[in-house]
Amino acid sequence: MQIDLEVERKEILNRYKLLIKACKRRLEKGDKEMIRKAFEVAVEAHKEMRRKSGEPYIYHPIAVATICAEEMGLGATGIVCALLHDTVEDTDLTLEDIRGLFGEKIAQIIDGLTKISGVIDNTSSIQAENFRKVLLTMSEDIRVILIKLADRLHNMRTLNHMKRDKQMKIASETLFLYAPLAHRLGLNTIKTELEDLGLKYTNSEAYYEIAVKLTETEPERKRFIEKFIDPLKEILQEQGFNFKIFGRPKSIFSIYNKIKSKGVTFEEIYDLFAIRIVIDSPTENEKSDCWKVYSIITDFYHPSPERLRDWISTPKSNGYESLHTTVMGPEGNWVEVQIRSVRMDELAESGYAAHWKYKDSAAEKESKLSAWLLRVREMLDSPDPNALEFIDDFKLNLFSDEIFVFTPKGDMKTLPLGSTALDFAFDIHTKIGEQCIGAKVNHKLVPLSYELKSGDQIEILTSNKQTPKDDWLKLVVTARAKSKIKNSLKEQRRKVAQGGREVLERKFYKNKIEFTLQNINDFISFLKLPSSQELFYRVAVGNVDMKEIKAFHKHKENPVKAKKQKVAPKIEQLVTSARGGNDMLVIGDDLQQLDYKLSPCCNPIPGDDVFGFVTVGEGIKIHRVTCPNAIKLLSNYAYRVVKAKWTNDQLISFLAGLKLIGTDELGLVNNITKVISNENHVNMRSISFDTEDGIFTGTIMIYVHDTKHLNHLIDNLKKVKGVNKVERFDQN
């Protein structure tokens, strides 16, 4: 196809001029310039893009803006946003660019539009009711929804260029979600068009059958309508009314629904049209004038008493005002008659957005529009309980204490407000929760504690080495996650404690203490522990060692004297006391075995170059020679430094920390955890990642036996694609 760019350029400008003409609201000073600027920015941003039809892409935003102006009565802000609605999502323009060019308000609406399409277009399974909730909770400004509706309407109008499967998806989504939303907002014309187009693509056979029959029966219907309205016209004129009276065909979609729900044929439907009388009447008289017209009509045609609908005294919750009656027509058929004022008619067709017309000053118009926007929001938030009768088939109960989030496949989960990534993991499956090491929210790495927001899409990262930790209880809000974590922690302790029982038996044996229930209970009260399980657990994690057992032994022989020496073990010292006895290190020139502590400032592990430092109150402390404190200690207190050397490496684990820096590659966390879990004798205690501007930093705490293991692991981690630097760090 030959494209004449000059012709296209002229056509773009032509469409732009039509848009300006379509602006029903009088544009204020500066509005036109702002719309022009948005137009130019959009033209430039989309200049290389074409629609599926081959047309320039910019036709689409112009069309959407025209719908917003013409059919929704939106003002300059809405039109600017409609022109820009696809820029941040589809072009190089960023939200920052928009903010810089057009200010905060417009940027905020564009952001809402971009986010909403992110949720809708990336979500494969639709749960319509929940979707509507998401839409509404996510959009702070109702204009986001209105522009999204206009966007969808134009996409539906041009759907014939799409592939069949896309047509089905978009059309059914439209029937499910957008048409009811338009109805809810009182945008009747748009709702009807969306429904008809939706039917056209989901059941085109039925659509065309009805469409053809409607055309075929049109002349006959016209004749009937004339016969029906001619006598009414005369009387209404005599009474001095300024009015329009006409027949209005029902929509194809509503006829289709009637055929389906009532099991009738097209020919059996008598109300294929309604008669509408729109009177031009000042606001203060419109109600009484409507009733006057009602009485004239029912004088002429006999009304059905059950079918009077007064939505003038009590408007529908979406703002619809009208008086409906059904009368017996000249040929013995029931005919629906709708009576309303011009104002009510415009309102019914374009929703509350039509309100702007009935105020004079520009400021009043603006405030009326904001009032409408506010009212729609309120209405969406909490349907008026008094108007329950008129509330549509879908009720929007917006619970502000709920959030709606998605799995990577697009399934939706409802969670309480404040839920974290970890809550989500447990909501998916207990196992996923227990092995959770982190999550990706909207494709970005976040920690377990990340608080979720409505619309977030979450992928949970797991490792089979992971187990629930005590502090996890502080990271979750759902009862489900809490109880699962508690159960798992209990189970862990129980298992560990089982091993501790055997260890204690051996230790008692070494110290010549009989392993009897009595002695175990005495030892429990000696250590002031609550239960035997707690004792066995502490033994298993190395928190009760020879020292306590020796002290206990002495205490048994001489209870009073030994009392002072008992040591209350602290769980926090798990790491430094995780050694199996005093035989790990030899200290001093004569390399004696002395009591020592591993200094927490550098966490020495077997294999590290170490030295001992004689402290005032805490005996000898072991530091690595590379410890940040070492130089200070060595230079200032050389006389207190003693040699220390590892003797053998037993299979005891020591905690070490690694810091990783690199670029945020796909699957990086997965690859890192894979390397760690493939390394023998290495266990991960915690892992956390942070990404900023594509650079990630990771902190991993692992248990290793010695430096040999650690260095081996560091070498392997450096080989992971995306990792630039791996360092051991001292403080934890």
Residues that bind Mn ion (CB under 5 A): 86, 151
Complex with Mn ion: residue 151 or 679, whichever CB lies closer = 151
Active-site option among 90, 111, 522, 649: 90
Complex with Mn ion: residue 16 or 654, whichever CB lies closer = 16
Instruction: Please enumerate in sequence order all residues whose Cβ is within 8 A of that of 674, keeping only pairs 6 or more positions apart, or say none.
Output: none
What distance in Å separates the CA atoms of residue 294 and residue 276, rounded to the nearest whole number? 12
Backbone angles phi, psi at 533, to 5 degrees: -60, -40
Complex with Mn ion: residue 114 or 435, whichever CB lies closer = 114
Identify the DSSP state of 302: P
What amino acid occupies position 723? V
Complex with Mn ion: residue 113 or 353, whichever CB lies closer = 113
Please, which contacts does 374-383 make with residues 24 or more away whose CB atoms are closer than 8 Å? 376/142, 376/185, 376/352, 377/142, 379/317, 379/318, 380/136, 380/184, 381/136, 383/317
Tokens in use for 488? 């798992």
Tokens 């705490």 locate to 701
Q: Taking CB positions, which residue lies at the least distance from Mn ion?
A: 151
Which DSSP helix (H) or strand (E) runs through 144?
Answer: helix 142-157
Q: How far is the CB of 79 from Mn ion (least distance, A)?
A: 14
What distance in Å separates the CA atoms of residue 255 and residue 276, rounded to the nearest whole number? 18
Rounded to the nearest angstrom, the gap between the alpha carbon of residue 722 and the centroid of all alpha carbons in its chain is: 28
Question: Which candidate, 252, 275, 277, 291, places its Cα nearest to that of 328?
Answer: 275
What amino acid occupies position 391? I
Q: How far is the CB of 61 from Mn ion (least distance, A)?
A: 7
Annotate 478-518 with DSSP letters as a single string.
SHHHHHHHHHHHHHHHHHHHHHHHHHHHHHHHHTT----HH
Task: Report the alpha-carbon angle 324-326-327, nearest 5.
Answer: 135
Distances (CA, A) of 652 to 220, 243, 703: 95, 95, 9
Active-site option among 8, 31, 89, 402: 89
DSSP reduced 3-state for 600 = coil
What amino acid occupies position 590? D
Identify the DSSP state of 72: S
Complex with Mn ion: residue 22 or 546, whichever CB lies closer = 22
What distance in Å separates the CA atoms of residue 567 and residue 529, rounded to the nearest whole number? 12
Q: How far is the CB of 105 from Mn ion (least distance, A)?
A: 20
Distances (CA, A) of 556 to 383, 524, 533: 76, 13, 22
Q: How far is the CB of 39 from Mn ion (least distance, A)?
A: 15
What distance in Å separates the CA atoms of residue 501 and residue 494, rounded to the nearest whole number? 11
Question: Which candidate, 107, 198, 125, places its Cα nearest to that of 155?
Answer: 198
Q: How far is the CB of 685 from Mn ion (least distance, A)?
A: 48
Q: How far is the CB of 721 from Mn ion (least distance, A)?
A: 37
Complex with Mn ion: residue 95 or 546, whichever CB lies closer = 95
Helices assigned H by DSSP within 511-598? 517-526, 532-540, 546-557, 559-562
- Quote the crossing angle between the two packed helices 31-45 and 5-22, to the nearest 10°: 150
Q: How far is the CB of 68 from Mn ion (least distance, A)?
A: 12
Return the number of other C-beta atoms located less than 10 Å from residue 188's C-beta: 18
Q: What is the CA radius of gyration of the chain?
A: 38
Pairing mode of beta strands 436-441, 444-446: antiparallel
Question: Which candidate, 361, 311, 290, 269, places its Cα nearest to that of 25?
Answer: 361
Dihedral sign computed on CA atoms, order 467, 472, 477, 483: positive
90 is catalytic: yes
Tokens in use for 594? 């002395």
Complex with Mn ion: residue 72 or 272, whichever CB lies closer = 72
Dihedral sign computed on CA atoms, order 632, 634, 638, 641: positive
Q: How far is the CB of 207 from Mn ion (least distance, A)?
A: 24
Q: How far is the CB of 373 from Mn ion (least distance, A)?
A: 21
165 is catalytic: no
What is the total residue count of the chain?
Answer: 732
Pairing mode of beta strands 334-341, 273-279: parallel
Return the number of other C-beta atoms located less than 10 Å from residue 594's C-beta: 16
Distances (CA, A) of 260 to 8, 213, 266, 267, 290: 45, 16, 10, 13, 34
Q: How far is the CB of 453 from Mn ion (least distance, A)?
A: 24
Backbone angles phi, psi at 724, to 5 degrees: -105, -30
Q: How far is the CB of 156 from Mn ion (least distance, A)?
A: 12
Known catalytic residues are 89-90
